Amino acid sequence: MSATAPPQGHPSGAGLTARARRRYRRMPLRSRLAMLTALAVAVAVALSAAACWLITRDRLTEQLDTTLSTVEVDSGYVQALTAKCTGAAPNVRFQPTPYTVQLVSATGGSCTAPEKSRIPPQRSDVAVAAGRLADSVHTTRADDGTEMRVSTVPYHGAVTDAAGGRLAISVAAPMGQVTEPLDQLALVLLIVAGVGVLGAATAGLGVARAGLRPVDRLTAAVEHVARTEDLTIRIPTEGEDEIVRLSRSFNAMTAALAASRDLQQQLIADAGHELRTPLTSLRTNIDLLVRSERSGRPIPAADKEALLTSVKAQMGELAALIGDLQELSRTPEAGPGSGAAVRVVALHDIVGAALERARLRGPALTVTATLDPWYVRAEPAALERAVVNLLDNAVKFSPAGGTVLVRLAAGELTVRDHGPGIPEDELPHVFERFWRSPSARSLPGSGLGLSIVARTAKQAGGGVRLRSAPGGGTEAVLTLPGAPTPPPDLPGNGAGETS
């Protein structure tokens, strides 16, 4: 038997549910909060109203049962009722009563008071008449359709039915005295519940608006930043709730972005300024060479050699500057030992290799070194470049025939020169990008070397500082965390590599 698709125009329950879910998701957050608040209040009010109605119904029914059980029917009334039902005493008069009195026999017959609608006996009533039950209380309907509450007890008088059997007396009252107050109570509860739900929805909308006002400010700030790229905007923060914490995080993020953008713009401006000098010199020298070739007036050999030497020097300076800029533009690692190229390396070996290069660049200098073993986690190429920069700095500022002292002990690399030194007021600026001492601006260099050293030291979890050395000169101290012995080799990796 094949399944049939639902008729067109009548979407299935799953489709309606999906559509309602999509519509709910498209609603504003404050509307959803107000709706959920109203729904929660509606459920709570409905449960409370239902509990109140059920308890009231049970109490009213219990009171009616108690009233019916206390009604006493005297023997004279029973005899008169029996006589009337058998036709023996047609002129018997009965006193008006709000209750319906009825005799029930063990055979299922019944005799009802005059001017009262007969109530069909139930099995429990017959069982009471037959002596199988002590009493019976139940709700049924009379012949005229009125809902009645019936209490049946055995009759212990001398009256019996036509066959001499035992009788039971049923006393009944309309259930209207219970249902009418319940209907009124249900109406009142419905009105109260409706007012409560409407009030809860209104209050929920107000609470949602008040609670989401900081979110609106945050949204407006984000949209403003996205539209204008204005990173100076700040959100007021008062208190310690989650929205305030989010606002503080946003303020910190925009401040960091603004600082990063300022640094980027400063780097571009400084790089442009530093590039302008070698480029201008290069263009001037090349223009002279080109003009000489075009005009047919050759430059003297000595002057031409000097021009070519200057061009080569300027190109080398440009290459060094571009290399330094590339080094500084790399994304810094999150912390020491977190980069993919970070390894355990022997710092004393790196310093030894850098010393050979320093001796070649300063052949007239005496470079002495004392190197104790020290192993650190760092990027080898970056660490070597930092050490070379420190030694180059010492070689560049050392006088001819001077001495450069290098010492590595307990993770502290000290490079001391005997140059002119750095004034105390200039020491705080030596690690800034492109900063150069006024007395050193005539010397080659871009002012990025010490910035690269500081960056590399920070990435490796260490630090670097410069200080004036006793007796003149400058002492640079590079400190890196590590150990004097290498760690054991890790399985599956090369010697000393991190996992």
Q: Report CA-CA distances (Å) from 486 to 182, 377, 483.
A: 88, 10, 7
Q: According to the model, what pLDDT value does residue 499 have?
A: 30
Mean pLDDT along residues 292-312: 77
Tell me the pLDDT tens digit for each residue of 451-469. 778 888 888 888 888 887 7
Q: Report CA-CA distances (Å) from 120 to 115, 148, 246, 488.
A: 16, 11, 74, 99
Mean pLDDT along residues 95-120: 85
Q: Nearest-CA neighbor of 449 among 431, 437, 466?
A: 431
| Domains of the chain in sequence order | 74-177 (3.30.450.20), 242-329 (1.10.287.130), 343-483 (3.30.565.10)
Q: Tokens 């490796």: give the residue.
A: 460
DSSP 174: E
Mean pLDDT of the chain: 77
Tell me the pLDDT tens digit for each residue of 245-297. 877 888 888 888 887 777 677 666 656 655 666 677 778 878 877 887 777 77
* Structural Rg of the chain based on CA atoms: 52
Question: 198 versus 472: which is more confidently predicted?
Answer: 198
Q: According to the model, what pLDDT value does residue 353 have?
A: 86
Q: According to the model, what pLDDT value does residue 52 have?
A: 92
Q: How many CB atoms lie within 10 A of CB 438?
A: 8
Share of the chain above pLDDT 90, in %: 9
Lowest-pLDDT choice from 41-45, 85-89, 352-356, 403-407: 85-89
User: What confidence tier does 2 reach under pLDDT thresholds 50, 70, 90?
Assistant: very low
Q: According to the model, what pLDDT value does residue 410 have?
A: 86
Q: What are the residue ranges of helices labelled H in 27-171? A: 29-70, 75-86, 123-129
Residues 6+ apart with CB under 8 A from 16: none
Query: Cβ(408)–Cβ(348) under 8 Å?
Result: yes
